[in-house]
């Protein structure tokens, strides 16, 4: 690896892409959205493209090339990676970077290859893909090399990754395609069914962040917000007031699936490591793990204390950066089996 080769860590999320540069930290966090014209020209990427979602004329489509954490549209993902790599390095950079990219734990070898190829075509000198739970654990400050069991639950936009890590590797893991986006869709469906009101993704995300909770709250403590949308019958704009416990009701099935994934992994964990997990607790990372009272729900359902990692949103991105900076130390954990 030459002295001049820049290094980038990329958290290739379904909803957001984060780029980490060693010694600088997270330099970019933009939505993984691309606006494409009818004749397949890329018009905008990231923040600019997200602004267009739901607001584009017929000949422009704004969509997400990543589905459930993996590449759904190869051509567009490549263009998106090129944009982020160039933006992170600045226009005067002439050296191709070594790139490390996160992928969900349940990724297939074909999906892994697609990510590597897209990155190399987008201008990377070399590309390594690493499973998300390993990176989230490194970013959360878990000493992954110890012969002790640590459980990490990484809840992003497209997938919930649950893994038990010991001696630098994943012992048991499970990846389910239920995470932040699914919660938003459930909120949209609930409001349509209960109020005959059609709302968009952006509004659903605001509801989830501002008043969402994993467990019901006392009436006196409930939060509420005004939700604006389009009346399904008249087609006219209308607003309603929505309360926290309604959001709890809307997303409870999705949360049950997430918790079930955690239980499944706990049930398959060797007894010695289970004892460690009871001592260390479950560490939660990823944007959607910040849902109010989610740690409490996990504790109630599993009997194991759960806590939110510091900088939960940036754990995976920080993990890529730390692994890049100390590649030799993390070589075994990072160079995953093909």
- CATH label of the domain that carries residue 18: 3.30.420.40
Residue 333: the pLDDT is: 64
Higher pLDDT, 70 or 264: 264
Higher pLDDT, 334 or 271: 271
Residue 56: the pLDDT is: 66
Residue 1: the pLDDT is: 46
Of 195, 222, 250, the residue at which a domain comes to its end is: 250
C-beta separation of 99 from 85 below 8 A: yes
Residues 206 and 301 in one domain: no
Secondary structure E strands in 48-189:
60-63, 66-67, 70-71, 98-103, 126-131, 150-155, 160-166, 169-176
pLDDT over 90 (residue 206):
yes
Residue 71: the pLDDT is: 75
For 338, the 3-state DSSP assignment is coil
Residues 242 and 328 in one domain: no
Distances (CA, A) of 249 to 53, 183, 230: 27, 11, 22
Residues 127 and 188 in one domain: no
Residue 297: the pLDDT is: 97
Residue 1 lies in a domain: no
Which residues constitute the domain of residue 159? 140-178+256-313
CB environment 184-201: b (16+ within 10 A), e (fewer): bebbbebbeeebebebeb
Give the up-direction half-sphere exposure of residue 70: CA atoms within 13 A in the CB hemisphere: 16
Residue 327: the pLDDT is: 75
For 125, the 3-state DSSP assignment is coil
Q: DSSP secondary-structure letter at 236?
A: -
Residues 309 and 319 in one domain: no
Residues 198 and 296 in one domain: no
Instruction: Give the list of residues 6+ apart from residue 144 with CB closer than 8 angstroms, or none.
Output: 134, 137, 138, 150, 165, 168, 333
Q: How far apart are CA 13 and CA 64, in angstroms?
A: 10
Residue 166: the pLDDT is: 93
Q: pLDDT digit string (tens) for 24-59?
A: 888 899 988 888 887 778 888 888 888 877 676 777
Please state the domain count of the chain: 3
Token digits of residue 197? 């009101």
Average pLDDT value for the chain:
89
**Poorest-confidence range of 45-54, 78-87, 122-131, 239-248?**
45-54
Residue 331: the pLDDT is: 66
Residue 2 lies in a domain: no
What confidence category does residue 335 fall into, taking pLDDT thresholds of 50, 70 and 90? low
Residue 226: the pLDDT is: 97
Q: How far apart are CA 261 and CA 266, in angstroms?
A: 9
pLDDT above 90 as % of the chain: 57
Spatial CA neighbour of 152 closest among 316, 33, 272, 6:
316
Residues 167 and 267 in one domain: yes
- Going by DSSP bridges, is the β-strand pair 169-176/160-166 parallel, antiparallel, or unpaired? antiparallel
Which contiguous run of DSSP H or E holds residue 190? helix 180-195
Find the mean pLDDT for residues 116-125: 90
Find the mean pLDDT for residues 133-145: 92
For 214, the 3-state DSSP assignment is coil
pLDDT over 50 (residue 337):
no
Find the mean pLDDT for residues 248-258: 97
Residues 28 and 124 in one domain: yes
Q: How far apart are CA 187 and CA 99, in angstroms?
A: 36
Q: What are phi and psi of 333, to 5 degrees?
A: -70, -35
Q: How far apart are CA 192 and CA 208, in angstroms?
A: 16
Find the mean pLDDT for residues 162-167: 94
**Global confidence as pTM:** 0.89
Q: How far apart are CA 157 and CA 207, in angstroms?
A: 15
Residue 338: the pLDDT is: 37
Which neighbouring-strand residues pair with 102?
A: 130
């Amino acid at each position: 690896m030459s002295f001049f080769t820049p290094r980038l860590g990329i958290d290739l999320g379904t909803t957001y892409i984060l780029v980490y540069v060693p010694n600088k930290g997270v330099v970019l966090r933009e939505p993984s959205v691309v606006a494409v014209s009818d004749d397949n020209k890329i018009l905008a990427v990231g923040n600019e493209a997200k602004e267009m979602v739901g607001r584009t004329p017929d000949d422009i489509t704004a969509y997400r090339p990543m589905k459930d954490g993996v590449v759904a549209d190869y051509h567009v993902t490549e263009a998106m990676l090129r944009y982020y790599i160039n933006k992170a390095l600045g226009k005067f950079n002439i050296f191709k970077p070594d790139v490390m990219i996160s992928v969900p734990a349940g990724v297939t070898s074909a999906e892994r290859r697609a990510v590597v190829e897209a990155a190399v075509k987008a201008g990377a000198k070399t590309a390594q893909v690493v499973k998300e739970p390993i990176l989230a654990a490194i970013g959360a400050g878990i000493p992954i090399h110890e012969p002790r069991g640590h459980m990490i639950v990484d809840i992003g936009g497209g997938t919930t990754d649950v893994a038990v890590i010991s001696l630098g590797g994943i012992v048991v893991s499970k990846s389910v395609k239920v995470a932040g986006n699914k919660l938003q869709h459930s909120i949209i469906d609930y409001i349509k069914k209960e109020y005959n009101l059609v709302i968009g993704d952006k509004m659903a995300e605001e509801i989830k962040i501002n008043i969402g909770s994993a467990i019901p709250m006392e009436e006196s403590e409930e939060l509420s917000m005004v939700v604006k949308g389009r009346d399904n019958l008249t087609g006219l704009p209308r607003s309603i007031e929505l309360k926290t416990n309604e959001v709890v009701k809307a997303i409870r099935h999705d949360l049950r699936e997430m918790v079930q994934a955690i239980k499944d992994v706990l049930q398959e964990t060797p007894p010695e490591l289970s004892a460690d997990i009871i001592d260390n607790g479950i560490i939660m990372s990823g944007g959607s793990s910040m849902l109010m009272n989610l740690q409490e729900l996990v504790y109630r359902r599993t009997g194991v204390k759960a806590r939110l990692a510091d900088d939960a949103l940036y754990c995976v991105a920080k993990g890529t950066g730390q692994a890049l900076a100390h590649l030799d130390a993390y070589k075994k954990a990072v160079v995953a089996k093909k």
